[in-house]
Structure 1
Amino acid sequence: MTDLSRIDVIAPNFKRRHSGVTSTVIRLVPLQAKQIGITSCAPDLPPEVPNMAWTRLVGMARCGPSGARVWHARRNVEMVAGLALKYVLQKRLKLLFTSAAQRRHKPFTRWLIGKQDAIIATSSKSAAYLDRDATVIRHGVDCEQFRPAEDKAALRTALDLPAGILIGCFGRIRHQKGNDLFVEAMLRALPDHPDAHALIMGRATANNQEYLGGLKTRVAEAGLEAQVHFRDEVPIEQLADHFRALDLYVAPQRWEGFGLTPLEAMACCVPVIATRVGAFEELVVDGETGNLVEIEDVDAMVAHTQALLADPEKMAQWGSAARDHVLANFQLQQEADAIVAIYRKLLAA
């Protein structure tokens, strides 16, 4: 059980279903725990992540070992909980919020943000939508976990994936993620490259099953079921292996808060074609680690995909450059250190 007398920072994650925020907490908190007393407060996390039951929040001591504790929220509901703990239960808290949204916040969210002691934005775009100053700290990736495959052919065999060139599109299956755009691009790009395959991997919630079914129908009607493959979401510990198995990654989103998948792909020496949403313009170096295209520009996705399929040497060069780019700028430890610096600043205030 977490010893709260040693905890200076609480990073809540109130959503039971796995999400991008969940991934962030799982990745960061164990690293940060080596530097500062921190715990998550979540319904279900891997055992290596320091965690506490939400029921302990009510009875925890008013002060932490440094006086106030930092409450690091990443969702509205967690900001609300922080305010309740601070002003109703009189816990000494410094309130911190990380904003990834790239849109004007609704009035209630703006009010909640105004009550925070400090704000982190995950990209310059996200910071531009805030009405107050924020520290920009971009997400990072674990470059030991996400690394190039030593034997890609053997890995493909182990994962039951096809040989040849493999193009991936991973994540939730829904309209805003642009899976239909990816399918359309692949239906146009793959017929001229019978050795190339596309892999769509991710979970569709109940209200997106019809959307997923429509994608599969389009592939069947095009007669490309042998080249376009669908796979359900895999456990998080298997995700890096699937990125390593790829030769090219496409991020076709219509909207994204930040978007980690391009970084995870690039860390595995996989170049990326991405739309200009989320933080993608700050992650992908156009013409060096991949290509950037406008939202819903399927023509550009097809053209860039075909160009790389026709030039495997360039695809490999861009993959190597992508790995170097992530190592230099987007390592997970860099993100963890930058956030811990914010924690320490708040605790010292």
Structure 2
Amino acid sequence: MHSITGLNVGGAEYMLARFLRCLGQDNYRAAVLSLMTPGPLEVHVAAAGASVHSLSMRQGRFSLSSVRSLNGIFQKIKPELVHGWMYHGNIAASIGCRIGHLNAPIIWSVHHSLYDIAVEKPLTQKLIRLSARLSNQASAITYSSYVAAKQHEAVGFDPRHRVVIHNGIDCEEFQPAFPGAKLALAQRLRIPDQRVIIGSIGRFHPMKDQATLVQAFAQLLAEGYDIHGLFVGAGHEDGVVIKTAQQLGIDDRISTLGASDDIPAIAPGLDIHAISSAWGETFSMATAEAMASGVPSLVTDVGDCALVVGDTGEVVARRDPKALAAALRRLLDLGRDARRQLGARARRRIVENFSLQRYVDSHVALYQKLHEGRLLKPKQM
């Protein structure tokens, strides 16, 4: 059983759906517990052959009836292994096994970096501290970055259960498509096709610090660079990106698209992909998907983003629009052909180090170790 907060659009949620699709149901028959009402990714999870169950909880609300429903689902499924996804899913996995008197191995997975717990929501802070106290009861704790592992262990997560498994990219789904993808995207944005499109794929969230990237765009436009910024993801409509662009007088050079299932078609149309995250990022799925699409990338030094990019792109400090502008300037000055060569190297890096198959194989190996009892036994509550 996989336990997750919900099935809305997000990096961890997409990873679960893709993981289930590749894992198949022959050896690992899967059920998914969505604590909240399942979102749009429920269709993908069901298509992978997994049964979907839900507590239909409201955000931030946990009640006695939720506990009863949780117990009922665990008693019905009687899972042989429970895999939690993100803080809420991890805790639900442990509680479900405890109240259901199930002796199944429990995997926690952490998909968040923790630079300063004080910037998290109060409820999230409490959940992290509770998780730290209960972490010795997990059979294994997987982290999607080395940085996140160290940060969580610094606040009390049990280091003995650490397993780092970076996210994986489906390199068949995400592929370069030059030159047609660029032309199609320029037409969609109603801009000249020779203009350089710098994209940033990801929902709006304060931790992603997208306003700083808009400030970097303004610097480059003031210097005469012919660029267009594109932000793709939920929450950008009339949000911080647009308001910042309006304040800087560059809103005619910024476009936003809402949440999209068309990322494999959008990503290869970009000339450069950039993220400006200030915290929270562990492994940027958007960056790795852009790289698999043959697009050179710029990241801030958050989580394992620098490790993902390696020498195929640019890495800068957090919350520094001048550094972002300087790194983008270097990529722009390379010219189109050199950027495509860099993008080809970026794709090879993802194929060789961060493929979806590698992600699946790493989890299967972990499942097998747990099945055979070859990992440290967790403490009981």
Q: Give the TM-score, by structure 2 length.
A: 0.79
Task: Describe the superposition over 1:82-102 as per-residue Cα deviations: whole angstroms up to 9, x where unpaired.
Answer: 233322222331111112333
Quote how far apart the aligned CAs of 1:127 are: 2.0
Quote how far apart the aligned CAs of 1:224 are: 2.4
User: Which residue is 2:137 aligned to?
Assistant: 115
How many residues are paired up? 326
> SS at the partner of 1:93?
coil
- Relative distance call for 1:181 and 1:239 in structure 2 (3 A) is same
* Aligned counterpart in structure 1 of residue 184 of structure 2, from 137, 149, 155: 155
Amino acid at match of 2:144: T
User: Which residue is 1:243 aligned to?
Assistant: 267
Q: Distance in 2 between matches of 1:116 and 1:101?
A: 18
* Aligned counterpart in structure 2 of residue 220 of structure 1, from 219, 224, 246: 246
Quote how far apart the aligned CAs of 1:144 are: 0.9
2:209/2:277 contact within 8 Å kept: yes
Amino acid at match of 1:57: I
- Relative distance call for 1:217 and 1:257 in structure 2 (3 A) is closer
Task: Describe the superposition over 1:136-171 as per-residue Cα deviations: whole angstroms up to 9, x where unpaired.
Answer: 111111111111114224432564453221100121
Alignment of 1:17 onto 2:8: yes
1:61/1:91 contact within 8 Å kept: no
Q: Which runs of 5+ in 2 are unaligned?
A: 55-68, 118-124, 374-381
Task: Describe the superposition over 1:66-124 as per-residue Cα deviations: whole angstroms up to 9, x where unpaired.
Answer: xxx11000233323322333222223311111123333784311122221111112111
Q: Distance in 1 between matches of 2:225 and 2:87?
A: 47
Alignment of 1:90 onto 2:108: no
* Aligned counterpart in structure 2 of residue 345 of structure 1, from 345, 369, 374: 369
Amino acid at match of 1:74: W
User: Which residue is 1:292 aligned to?
Assistant: 315
2:144/2:164 contact within 8 Å kept: yes
Q: Distance in 2 between matches of 1:309 and 1:299?
A: 15
Structure 1 residue runs of 4+, over 4 Å off? none
* Aligned counterpart in structure 2 of residue 38 of structure 1, from 5, 25, 30: 30
Q: Distance in 2 between matches of 1:58 and 1:218?
A: 47
Amino acid at match of 1:291: E
Amino acid at match of 1:301: L
Alignment of 1:126 onto 2:112: no
2:142/2:163 contact within 8 Å kept: yes
Task: Output the aligned Cα RMSD.
Answer: 2.3
Task: Describe the superposition over 1:19-68 as per-residue Cα deviations: whole angstroms up to 9, x where unpaired.
Answer: 22211111111111255333323324124232332466244264x5xxxx
Task: Describe the superposition over 1:293-338 as per-residue Cα deviations: whole angstroms up to 9, x where unpaired.
Answer: 0111211211121222222133222111101111110101100110
Task: Describe the superposition over 1:171-213 as per-residue Cα deviations: whole angstroms up to 9, x where unpaired.
Answer: 12132101111100001112444532111122228xxx8xx54
- Relative distance call for 1:252 and 1:20 in structure 2 (3 A) is same
Alignment of 1:326 onto 2:350: yes
* Aligned counterpart in structure 2 of residue 261 of structure 1, from 286, 295, 298: 286
More moved, 16-25 vs 107-116: 16-25
Q: Which runs of 5+ in 1 are unaligned?
A: 1-9
Q: Distance in 2 between matches of 1:86 and 1:218?
A: 47
Amino acid at match of 2:331: L
Q: Distance in 1 between matches of 2:269 and 2:231?
A: 13
> SS at the partner of 2:159?
coil
> SS at the partner of 1:127?
helix
Q: Distance in 2 between matches of 1:161 and 1:123?
A: 38
